[in-house]
Amino acid sequence: MLVLAILITVTSIAVPPMMDRLKNGKVQEAADLVRETLANARRYAIEAGVDYHFRYEVNGQFFVAIPAEPNPGLANNYSEDTEDIRVALESGELDEELMIAAMDGDESGAENLEAEAFNQLSNAGELAGKTWSKPIVFRFDGTAEDRTFRIMTTDRRTSEISVRGLTGAVRATQVFVMEESQ
C-alpha cells in the first residue's frame, strides 16, 4: 500500500508538467511549420523574381504561399531555352486544436480567393472556400511587409510569428499562455 501511495504521489506531481510540455511542443511545432512556409515564400519570390503572398485562413488552420499574380511572368528567371517555367506554391494545415489568429487590433481582413489563385495545388477547391487574411507580401528583392500573428490553442497557448519588413526575416516566439486581456 505504501509503494502504491508513493507511485500515485509521484505520478500526480510528474504528469501535469509533462502534459504542459507536450501541449507546448505541438504549438511550437506548428509555429515552426508556418515560419518555414513564410521563409519559403521569401525564397520563392527571390528565386522566381516575382512577389509572393503568404496568407492564412482567418481563425482557421490553413495557410498558403502563392505568387501575387496567378500566372506571373518570371522576368528574373526567364531564358529563351525555358519554355515551361513553373512557380512554386505551398500550402499547409495545422491540427484541428490549433488556429492562426491576427494580433488584437490588426485588421487582417477577410478575403475570398478564387480557385485560380491556388491553381497548381491539389486542394485548390477546398482552399477557395476559405476566408483568407490580407497577404503578407514578400517582394522579389527580399523585403516583405511587417506583420505579426499568432498560432494558438483553445486553452490560449500561443506562439507569435513576426515578419520583419526590411529583411524579410521571420521569427517565432517561445510558447506562452496568453492572458485573457491580450
Q: What are phi and psi of 111, to 5 degrees?
A: -110, 145
Number of domains the chain contains: 1
Least confident of 33-47, 49-63, 74-88: 74-88
Mean of all residue pLDDT scores within the chain: 86
pLDDT of res. 71: 64
Give residues with Cβ within 8 angstroms of 47, minimum separation 6.
77, 88
Q: What CATH number is given to the structural domain containing 158?
A: 3.55.40.10
Q: For the chain, how are helix, strand and coil distributed in percent, rounded to 5? A: 30, 25, 40
Is the pLDDT assigned to residue 182 strictly greater than 70? no
The answer as to whether 3 is a domain residue is: no
Taking the C-alpha atoms of 62, 102, 146 and 40 in order, what is their torsion angle to the nearest 10 degrees?
-10
* All three cell numbers of 7: 507511485
The answer as to whether 4 is a domain residue is: no
The answer as to whether 15 is a domain residue is: no
Is the pLDDT assigned to residue 6 strictly greater than 60? yes
The answer as to whether 10 is a domain residue is: no
The answer as to whether 99 is a domain residue is: yes
Domain extent, residue 48, equals 20-72+85-177
Residue 131 DSSP one-character state? -
Give residues with Cβ within 8 angstroms of 118, minimum separation 6.
64, 66, 89, 91, 124, 127, 128
The answer as to whether 182 is a domain residue is: no
Query: pLDDT tens digits, residue range 109-147?
Result: 788 888 888 877 888 888 998 999 999 999 999 999 999
pLDDT of res. 72: 58
The answer as to whether 8 is a domain residue is: no
The answer as to whether 128 is a domain residue is: yes
pLDDT of res. 76: 46
pLDDT of res. 85: 44
Q: 38 near 170, Cβ under 8 Å?
A: yes
* All three cell numbers of 25: 511542443
Q: Provide mean pLDDT across the span 60-65.
A: 95
Least confident of 14-18, 54-58, 60-64, 167-171: 14-18
Position 15 confidence tier, pLDDT thresholds 50, 70, 90:
confident
